[in-house]
Amino acid sequence: MVNNFSHYFVDDKTKQHKDISFDFVFKGQKYHFKTQDGVFSKSQIDDGSLFLVETALKQNLNGCGLDLGCGYGAISVLVASNANVNMTACDINERAVQLANENFQANKINANAIISNVGDSVQKNDYDFVITNPPIRVGNAILFKFFEDSYQKLRVGGAFYAVLRKKQGAETYIKKIKSIYDNCEILDKHKGYVIIKSIKK
Ligand SMILES: C[S@@+](CC[C@H](N)C(=O)[O-])C[C@H]1O[C@@H](n2cnc3c(N)ncnc32)[C@H](O)[C@@H]1O
C-alpha cells in the first residue's frame, strides 16, 4: 500500500508485531483487551468507538448484530456484554480478526470474527443491526461500500449505527448514507463525533 494509513487495515506479515494489552472498565465491569502494533487504536479503546457503543446501547439493541471493520473487537465485546445480542464481527485485517476472536474468548463473549473485505464474506443478509466505526481514511470507494454493504446485510426494519467525525467530512457521508437509506437521524454529537442511525425501510 502506498499511503500512510495502511497500517490500519493491511496486515504486514513481514513485520514483528509487539503484543499490547490493557484493561478497560465499562459500566462497572472490567474487560481485558489484547492488541498489537498494526491494529487501529492499539493502546486504548477509541473515543469515537466508545461514544458509538454508549449511544447505541441507549437504543435497546437486540437480536443479531454485525460489527463491520471490527478491529480487535472492542465494539462487539462492549455491545454483546451489555445487550441481549449475538454479534458477528469482520475486518479485512487478519491480525485484527485473530485478536478479536481472542478478545471474545478472554471476555467470555459469544461472538465470532471473520476476515472479510467489508461485507463480502458475510453470509447472513438479515441482521437486526449493523454497527461500525468506518475507516474514513481508506477513501470513498471502500467507505461507501461500508454504507452499501451495511444496507444489504440488514433485514427490513434493521438499523445502521455509525460514528463519523465532523472534521473528516461527516456531512458528505451523511448525504451518501441518506441516498442509500432514504433516512439518517443524528442520535448524538460530542467533541466532533457524530453518531448516526438509519433504518432499512
Ligand atoms: C476506525 S477502525 C475501527 C476498528 C474497531 N471497530 C474499533 O472500534 O476499534 C476501522 C477498521 O476497518 C478495517 N477495514 C479497513 N478497510 C476494510 C475493508 N475493506 N473491509 C473490512 N474492514 C476494513 C480496519 O482494518 C479497521 O480495523
Residue pLDDT, tens place only, 16-55:
778 999 999 999 999 999 999 999 999 999 999 999 999 9
Using the 8-state DSSP alphabet, how is residue 199 labeled?
Answer: E
| pLDDT range class, residue 10, cuts 50, 70, 90 | low
Tell me whether residue 5 is in a domain. Answer: no
47 lines ligand 1 (CB under 6 A): no
Nearby residues of 33 by Cβ (< 8 Å), 6 or more positions away: 21, 22, 23, 24, 45, 72, 73, 74, 77, 103, 106
| pLDDT range class, residue 86, cuts 50, 70, 90 | very high
Which residues span the domain enclosing 65? 19-199
> Which amino acid would we find at residue 185?
E
CA of 138 to the centre of ligand 1 (A): 9
The pLDDT of residue 152 is above 60: yes
Tell me whether residue 49 is in a domain. Answer: yes
Which CATH number covers residue 57?
3.40.50.150
Predicted local confidence at residue 17, as pLDDT: 76
CA of 182 to the centre of ligand 1 (A): 25
Tell me whether residue 154 is in a domain. Answer: yes
Tell me whether residue 1 is in a domain. Answer: no
Question: What is the layout of strands, in order, in the sheet containing 62-68?
Answer: 111-115, 84-91, 62-68, 127-132, 154-165, 193-199, 185-190
Q: Whose CA is nearest to atom 2 of ligand 1?
A: 135
Helix (H) or strand (E) holding 175: helix 170-181
| Number of separate domains in the chain | 1
Tell me whether residue 105 is in a domain. Answer: yes
